[in-house]
Amino acid sequence: MTPRRRTEIPHATRIVVKVGSSSISGDNAGQIAPLVDALAAAHERGIEVVLVSSGAIATGMPYLKLDERPTDLATQQAAASVGQNLLVFRYQDSLDRYGIVAGQVLLTAGDLENPTPRSNAQRAMDRLLALKILPIVNENDTVATHEIRFGDNDRLAALVAELIGADLLVLLSDVDALYTKPPHLDGAKRIEHVPFGDALTGVEIGSVGRAGVGTGGAETKVSAARIAAEAGAAVLITATSLVADALAGREVGTWFEPAPERHTADGEPALA
């Protein structure tokens, strides 16, 4: 069931939760456990949960003795190769407390643009969910090139939500909601609700995430929210620290209303 308001979130059938690098790496690595607590609670209610997690490069950086995110592709690939292994281990270590098994799914933009790998990815995730496995999705940074990258995992999460017909997409970051201007500026006000198709005229949307760690910001989240909403999924943007409240249907974050009709992965309309 696609939730039409926050209070209906606990009754969703299938959800995608995206978390950014800065929320689960470095000094914030401790947020993995409470994030897993919230995902496990939803899983226990019978909701099918997919986690899209950034953080492979950020997690690998200390092991390559890097103080900031590398700018060259080869070093990004190396950091991702080391970090992805550690990141999934940390998630599985936390999921073990609930007897939940994670499945790793690494995608490139080309995988979702070409029919055969797209169909394979959809089938694999559908099967993982049917087997009560929690898929952890990330961009395959080790093989991706600058030309074919998603650009940020907000967009990846929106495309995954569309691919698997998710009812809800939750985009988590360091900021508790979308604001009328960057939240550190005077006069910034939280946007509670965005009607479907609203152009957000007059809203000043920032484009930069936390320096040296992530790649996304409010701009990428709004763009991703529109992709998912147009596909028929509701979207909630909020802080990683508020994920339990978000999945419980409490009044947090910014709510993007879904389209009246949803679309299947092949682009055909379906009832929401």
State how far the Cα of 123 lies from the Cα of 130, in Å rounded to an integer. 11
In this structure, what are the phi and psi dihedrals at residue 262, rounded to the nearest 5 degrees? -100, 165
Assess if residue 158 is contained within a domain.
Answer: yes
Can you give the CATH number for the domain in which 78 is found?
3.40.1160.10
- pLDDT score, position 147: 46
- pLDDT score, position 199: 85
Do residues 164 and 16 make contact, with C-beta atoms less than 8 angstroms apart?
yes
How many C-beta neighbours within 10 Å does residue 120 have? 12
For the chain, list the strands marked E by DSSP.
Answer: 14-19, 48-53, 102-107, 134-139, 168-173, 193-194, 234-239, 254-256, 261-263, 269-271
State how far the Cα of 52 lies from the Cα of 176, in Å rounded to an integer. 18
208-258 confidence digits (pLDDT tens): 444 444 445 788 899 999 999 999 999 999 999 999 999 999 999 999 999
Assess if residue 232 is contained within a domain.
Answer: yes
- pLDDT score, position 16: 98
Q: Can you say which residues are annotated as belonging to the binding site?
A: 18, 54, 141, 153, 173-174
State which residues of the chain have pLDDT below 50: 147-148, 208-215, 269, 271-272
- pLDDT score, position 266: 53
Assess if residue 177 is contained within a domain.
Answer: yes
Q: Can you say which residues are annotated as belonging to the binding site for ATP?
A: 18, 173-174
Angle at 15 between CA 13 and CA 21, to 5 degrees: 165
Assess if residue 29 is contained within a domain.
Answer: yes
State how far the Cα of 73 lies from the Cα of 57, in Å rounded to an integer. 11
Assess if residue 87 is contained within a domain.
Answer: yes
Q: Can you say which residues are annotated as belonging to the binding site for substrate?
A: 54, 141, 153
Which of 135, 48, 60 minimizes the C-alpha distance to 91? 135
Strand arrangement of the beta sheet that strand 168-173 belongs to? 102-107, 134-139, 48-53, 14-19, 168-173, 234-239, 254-256, 193-194
Count how many domains the chain has.
1
How many C-beta neighbours within 10 Å does residue 111 have? 20
- State pTM to two decimals: 0.90
Unique residue bearing structure tokens 């698997």: 164
Domain that holds residue 193: 6-271
- pLDDT score, position 234: 97
State how far the Cα of 117 lies from the Cα of 107, in Å rounded to an integer. 9
Assess if residue 1 is contained within a domain.
Answer: no
Q: What is the dihedral of CA 172, 174, 177, 178, to 10 degrees?
A: -100
Do residues 105 and 135 make contact, with C-beta atoms less than 8 angstroms apart?
yes
- pLDDT score, position 218: 86
- pLDDT score, position 206: 65
Assess if residue 175 is contained within a domain.
Answer: yes
Assess if residue 110 is contained within a domain.
Answer: yes
Token digits of residue 133: 């496995």
